[in-house]
Amino acid sequence: MSTSDIAGRPRRGFLRPWRVSVGARIPEGLPYYRTFPIPMKALRNPRCLLLESRWLVPRHFDGISLGPIVLLRPGVSAGLIAHELVHVRQFWRRPFTHGPRYLLSKAYRQACEVEAYRAQLQAAGRTPSRIANLARYLATKYRLDIDQETAVRLLSAEDSPR
């Protein structure tokens, strides 16, 4: 993969398949299109649109899902993409209530993030240091009121949270 493709030299044609980092990491799905100024890729499963942009993603984040739309910083890891696609699946399970519940319910938000971080670990490989790292995010970034130790336990548990 290469992030330089995004800022790279101009190419002929509009809506021309374009190999960039997200496209290179997600083999299935529809072709990756260079839709100026934001490259994007449509996926069938889960149904969503991945947009790659360093400007649209909020600071201190590498990716964010807004329902079926996923914004990714260029060059993010396969693990992070797996994480965001779990949130897309969660959205499609409850298209009308996922967003409000995520914002309002601590328990729901925790269940969503634990599921997403477990998928991220699955995709990236479960090393103790990675578990510790992601557990730190889980414990600090989502207003869950859990400590690091609890977060490690949640991410380490073998069985699925649902």
Segment near Zn ion (CB under 5 A), from 1-9, 93-101, 112-120, 128-136? 112-120
Instruction: Give the nearer residue to Zn ion in terms of CB position, either 126 or 141.
Output: 141
| DSSP states along 66-131 | ETTEEEE-TT--HHHHHHHHHHHHHHHHSTTTHHHHHHH-HHHHHHHHHHHHHHHHHHH---HHHH
| Residues 72, 80 contacting (CB under 8 angstroms) | yes
Contact between 72 and Zn ion per CB under 5 A: no
Pull the structure tokens for residue 108: 């729901």
Shortest reach from residue 64's CB to Zn ion, in Å? 8
Shortest reach from residue 20's CB to Zn ion, in Å? 23
Residue in 50, 116, 134, 138 binding Zn ion, rule: CB under 5 A = 116
Query: How many chain residues bind Zn ion (CB under 5 A)?
Result: 2
Shortest reach from residue 93's CB to Zn ion, in Å? 15
Which of helix, strand or coil describes residue 83? helix
Which of helix, strand or coil describes residue 67? coil
Applying CB under 5 A, which residues contact Zn ion?
A: 113, 116
